[in-house]
Structure 1
Amino acid sequence: MTLLCAPVRDEAIQKLEAITDPVQLLRGIFRVLGLMKMDMVNYTIQSFRPYLQEHSIQYEQAKFQELLDKQPSLLDYTTKWLTKAATDITTPCPSSPESPSSSRSVACSLPNGAGNNSEPLSPTMVLYQGYLNLLLWDPENEEFPETLLMDRTRLQEMAFQLHQLTVLASVLLVARSFSGEILFSSSEFVDRLKCITKALTEEFISRPEETMLSVSEQVSQEIHQGLKDMGLTTLSSENTASLLGQLQNITKKENCIRSIVDQRIRLFLKCCLLHGMQESLLHFPGGLILIERELAELGWKFLNLMHHNQQVFGPYYAEILKNIIHPAQAQETDVEHN
């Protein structure tokens, strides 16, 4: 066993040598053998990973093509999804602000002038707008793109995380405006406030008013205690009431802070798709620095998932977009190779 096991199991093998009871020794041997078996499985998977990654795209394409051959209408919902994305970009931006959950508000805030009719429409930009729209998807809408059905659960989880980050960042911005930079310069205080807010906003979607009532009271207490511990002047009763009111006002979708935060988060995700993660982090949106770690984690997950989807289904998207985008309007951008 010493010769066959991984170095990480050497300590477990040495402990076996010290066991004198035959029953306990056999139990220990079987336990270590189970660990060695798991080590071998992990090693095998790790060895095959490059091969699997190399061939997974071709495999998924082949399987999807088999389904498409049997069911020619399999891309109907995908076509509808991309058509809406193109409409979101080409429709003139409204003069009045929209709800932060509106796909039009996202399209109007895209970089590189997307959403402006004077710019030629890029197939890649339409696809990326479609990807962002998935984070706004109504759970009741069953017309989900066929090419993304396998990823629907993960996208729903990301949508929830995005919503939670929007509320979290809004709470932190309001709290900082009342407590000042000195208190928020303490990473320990900020992390504690994040932890409390995340825990309390788990049910924000189903119970927004009750949730924000609890959040506002707890945040107010934390700020009061934090200022007191640092020897700073605590908030007056008037400022405390104003703090509570502004925090509870975050429940409204038209809340200006929540709206701006939501748009900046989605703009960051769009930039991740367009320019990659590294460049997007170099130009991180102002006001969101307090959730940089959490937003970067979400960005990586979203980028990796969408990039893989684009590699697999790029040829199908390109064919659909040829019929959606007028040839004279489309830029010479190949969806398949972005």
Structure 2
Amino acid sequence: MKSDKLLRMSEHPDDKPHPGDSKQTLPDGVDGADESVRKRIRQSTPSPQRLPRPQSSPPRFVSVDELMETAKGVTNMALAHEIVVNGDFQIKPPEMPEDSLENRVREIVHKAFWDCLSVQLSEEPPTYDHAIKLVGEIKETLLSFLLPGHSRLRNQIREVLDLDLIKQEAENGALDISRLAEFIIGMMGTLCAPARDEEIKKLKDIKEIVPLFRAMFSVLDLMKVDMANFAVSSIRPHLMHQSVEYERKKFQEFFEKQPNALDFVTQWLQEALEDLISQRNKNSLMAGEGAVGSEERAAPCPATIQNHAYLKLLKWDHLHRPFPETVLVDQPRFQEMQQELERLIIVGATLLVTYSASGPGVSSLAGFAEKLKMVVQVLLTDTHLPSFNLNEALATIGEKVCVEVTGCLAQCGFTPLSADKEIALKGQIQAIAGPDDPIRKLVDARIRAYLEAYLASGLHKSLPAVPGGLGPIQKELEEVAVKFVRLVNYNRMVFGPYYDAILGKILKPEGPLASVSS
């Protein structure tokens, strides 16, 4: 069995290499991931033609070389950030749509190559020119998987796959191509990750040379990706330790060339402060105290302002508002969490309305809440799609909920819902589509209060109590909260000095915004 293959490789470095230390495969894989991060940055960056930009210091002219170097630094920062923040980050093989021109051209070229190889091997005597080139490529790939200390395996590969010797054997009609293929398969089985054992086993069942070579190259491509991903997972702990300083340094380099690079961050924090002051005055009026000027009461502390600012990102208008520069790389993550929370608000409000209409008999039944929640979640799966219609979805949810409640009441011997109550329940569920619906606003406010309490407590303390009425969605809410707080805390570690400097200026307008060093 080979379940502990990676461990054995580290214990016996001359018998089996560590799959994550390939110096040749990692750059290729990382380049692919690097390009995906570049694309994400381009997609996440608002168009300057559509969005107004706050006025700050005048732009400074820089050379093209400086811009290119800065862009490269920001991209590297984004890639390092992606590896650290995204625990599921993986380099994936490139995939082209089946009907794309690139895929058709690729298939035509590959077919022509393998057809040529088949013709050469079927000649009398066989011609091995193409086959020897393939063996040379395989040899280099296998060698790239080895560490410098794996001298025995390296010598074995070079000895058996000696191209000069293979050419001589071919010229003298003594080449046994099947023997070479058998050695290659065996070496691939030695070097591959456990997840590829089944592919290696299938190679041994292929008897024809051309299909065998073609299958071997497919498996080798997968092994390259495996090597790159193992390397990424290996460097993640070390990268985590250094990434805060690295990201701050790269952003500082960008900030020095673009002095207005914090305009949207400043606007974001300013709005958070204004929100807090407005809410405080509103609470004072409700309490009969009268509005209090900001100069008569201490301003909210910087930590409170930052927490409120991060919560604002979960209600952001991504289509019409520029995202703050320091969190731009994580904009897709904040969007995803925003969509998850919107779904939870709808689910939570639907369950509250249903329990209120159907009575305590239904809500107290074990398992019914999960079943009902699953029904609602399935019908809200596509909320992230532009074509999604919430009103139509809630109309369907109302029908399904009434069926489930009626069945549950009948099964338990309770009084079924009357026709009027069913109509009222469907109407209440339909009303959740409106942003001013009181039940929806109640659930939204309680979720926000929970996230705010969790953010204030930090990750190292126990989770705050889930507000009343949110019990059915507690698990999903806690999962989102953990992701949100981790992302916020990491961002705060990287950009905390910038936030402190900006808030220092906002809270004390007469004080200049000093340059933040790395």
The answer to whether residue 404 in structure 2 is matched with residue 248 in structure 1 is no
Describe the superposition over 1:303-325 as per-residue Cα deviations: whole angstroms up to 9, x where unpaired. Answer: 22212211111000011111223
Q: Is the 8 A contact 2:399 2:426 kept in 1?
A: yes
Deviation at 1:243, TM superposition (A): 0.8
Structure 2, gaps ≥5 residues long: 1-187, 287-295, 510-518
Which residue among 256, 261, 264 is the counterpart of 2:443?
261
In the alignment, the residues of structure 1 paired with residue 482 and residue 471 of structure 2 have an alpha-carbon distance, to the nearest angstrom, of: 16
Question: Are 1:168 and 1:197, in contact at CA under 8 Å, matched by a contact in 2?
Answer: no
Matched, 1:85 2:264: no
Instruction: Look up the match of 1:227.
Output: 409
Say if 2:339 is the partner of 1:160: yes
C-alpha displacement of 1:118: 6.8
1:129 matched to 2:305? The reply is no
Q: How many angstroms does 1:264 deviate by?
A: 1.1
Q: TM-score, normalised by structure 1?
A: 0.80
**1:88 CA displacement:** 1.9
Aligned to 1:103: none
How many angstroms apart in 1 are the aligned matches of 2:376 and 2:478?
A: 16
Residue 211 and residue 15 in structure 1: after superposition, are their counterparts in 2 closer, same or farther (change >3 A)?
A: closer
1:298 aligns with one of 480, 502, 508: 480
Larger Rg: 2
**Residue 309 (1) aligns with residue 488 (2):** no
Q: Identity, % of aligned pairs?
A: 39
Q: List per-residue Cα deviations over 1:246-294 (Å, max 9, x = no partner).
A: 1122123332221111011111211222113574635122211211222
1:1-338, aligned counterparts within 5 Å? 1-91=188-278, 92-94=280-282, 121-179=300-358, 180-183=362-365, 185-186=367-368, 189-199=371-381, 207-230=389-412, 232-277=414-459, 279=461, 281-325=463-507
Q: Separation in 1 of the partners of 2:506 and 2:371?
A: 51
Q: Decide which moves more: 168-177 or 141-150.
A: 141-150
Match of 2:300, SS state, is coil
| Unmatched tracts of structure 1, length 5 or more | 99-116, 328-338
The letter for the 2-side match of 1:235 is L
User: Is 290-299 or 183-192 further displaced after alignment?
Assistant: 183-192
Distance verdict in 2 for CA 1:203–1:22, change over 3 Å: closer
Contact 2:372 2:401 in 1 (8 A): no
Partners of 1:130 and 1:257 lie apart in 2 by 25
TM-aligned CA distance change 1:187 to 1:181, over 3 Å: closer
Query: 1:193 and 1:231, CA in 2 relative to 1: closer, same or farther beyond 3 A?
Result: farther
| Partners of 2:382 and 2:219 in 1: CA distance | 42
How many residue pairs end up in the alignment? 310
List per-residue Cα deviations over 1:203-260 (Å, max 9, x = no partner). Answer: 7997444443232223222322343455544211122122112112212333222111
The code of the aligned residue for 2:334 comes to L
From the superposition, tell whether residues 187 and 24 of structure 1 become closer, same or farther in structure 2 (CA, over 3 Å): farther
Query: What per-residue deviation string (whole Å, max 9, x for no partner) do you get for residues 66-117 of structure 1?
Result: 222222222222122112212222332535999xxxxxxxxxxxxxxxxxx9
Per the alignment, do residues 10 and 269 of structure 1 end up closer, same or farther by CA in structure 2, a change over 3 Å counting?
Answer: same
Q: Is the 8 A contact 2:379 2:393 kept in 1?
A: no
Cα RMSD after superposing both structures: 3.1
Range moving further from structure 2, 139-148 or 201-210: 201-210
Cα distance in 1 between the residues matched to 2:285 and 2:389: 25
Q: Return closer, same or farther for 1:278/1:316 CA change in 2, 3 Å cut-off.
A: closer
Describe the SS at the equivalent of 1:53: helix
Structure 1 Cα separation of the partners of residues 249 and 421 of structure 2? 63
- How far the C-alpha of 1:166 sits from its partner, in A, is 0.8
Q: Which amino acid aligns with 1:192?
A: M
Q: TM-score, normalised by structure 2?
A: 0.54
Single out whichever of 183-192 and 220-229 deviates more from structure 2: 183-192
Residue deviations 1:34-83 (CA, integer Å, cap 9, x gap) = 33222211111111112222232222222221222222222222122112
Q: Secondary structure at the match of 2:190?
A: coil
Q: Read off the aligned partner of 2:234 and give its amino acid letter.
A: S
Question: Is the contact made by 2:382 and 2:388 (CA closer than 8 Å) also made in structure 1?
Answer: no
Judge conservation of contact 2:248–2:494 (CA < 8 Å) in 1.
yes
How far off is 1:134 after superposition?
1.6
1:309/1:290 Cα in 2 relative to 1: closer, same or farther (>3 Å)?
A: same
Larger helix proportion, structure 1 or 2? 1
Summarize the Cα distance change of 1:228–1:137 in structure 2 as closer, same or farther, 3 Å threshold: same
